[in-house]
Structure 1
Amino acid sequence: MLDREGPVLLYVQIADQIRERIASGDLAPGSAVPSEVELVKTYEVTRQTVRRAIKLLKEEGAVYSEQGRGTFVGPKSAPQAPRQVPVYQQIANEIIEQIKAGEYVPNRLIPSEKTLVQRFDRAPGTIRQTVAYLRELGWVFTVPQKGTYVSKREDWPES
């Protein structure tokens, strides 16, 4: 819980709480720190506030970031925890299951980017990555200026 009316800045309080999670072992060396989106939601603050907290922790050497992968506990030399399935693939897998179940039918639109952003509570870039992945696998195709449609059943990848 953040003290929003006290003298300690919010980003310092967030950094303190993450530091406490590291000290308690809740966030072990090499494990991923929750994403910016998750921290924004958890603490109900702006993304800038979260970024300042992470920056403070980086300056202290408590965490480090890798472009496109995330922020991790400890120095870069700390062994990383096994990699999880990326979020965009998790979302894609859910949509694939809905296609297989007939919730989204061939030659019909899948939900819009805006709808998927709201449904999965993720950034537009993550949703675009999800749709690109679905397209790459052959589950959907995009018609410029119209939208993204479910592929014909015969074009679905082998399961």
Structure 2
Amino acid sequence: MKIGELAKATGIPVETIRYYEKIGLLPEPGRDASDYRAYRNMHLDRLFFIKRCRNLDMTQDEIRELIRLSENPEADCHQVNALLDNHLNHVRNRLNELLNLEKTLQQLQKACSDAGTVQDCGIMGGLSSELNTPHPEHNDHRDDHENHVPGTHRPGKR
């Protein structure tokens, strides 16, 4: 099948399919008599696998590792389980970060319950003061943006 057919079947844009080929998540297809890329069912299966992993918010490195592990189907699956465990811990940490974000936004919103000018707005004042003042709760523990697979997410800015 051609790349357009593959894109339609998977719901993955052509540009993304080419990108996955470029970074090695998807093997390069052979060529047909007209020198067009000729994708096979294994490409379709791999793209669905990648799509399911991305829907679970897995990184490219995690997907690459799962693909590598799948190439040895007789091996013990403890590495797969460990990878998923690390990813699950990352998700849990992210959920905690989002809960803290929600609380902060709610506090900011409470600071501006009265109508007034922007210069008197409690939200704007809170945002300005937070930009210049580090939060003590962020200084007493490890970086909250620690990667679940090192080097796969850029650290967030606070």
TM-score bracket for the superposition, by shorter chain length: under 0.3
More strand per residue: 1
TM-score (normalised: structure 1)? 0.22
More helix per residue: 2
Return the index of the structure with the highest Cα Rg: 2
TM-score (normalised: structure 2)? 0.23
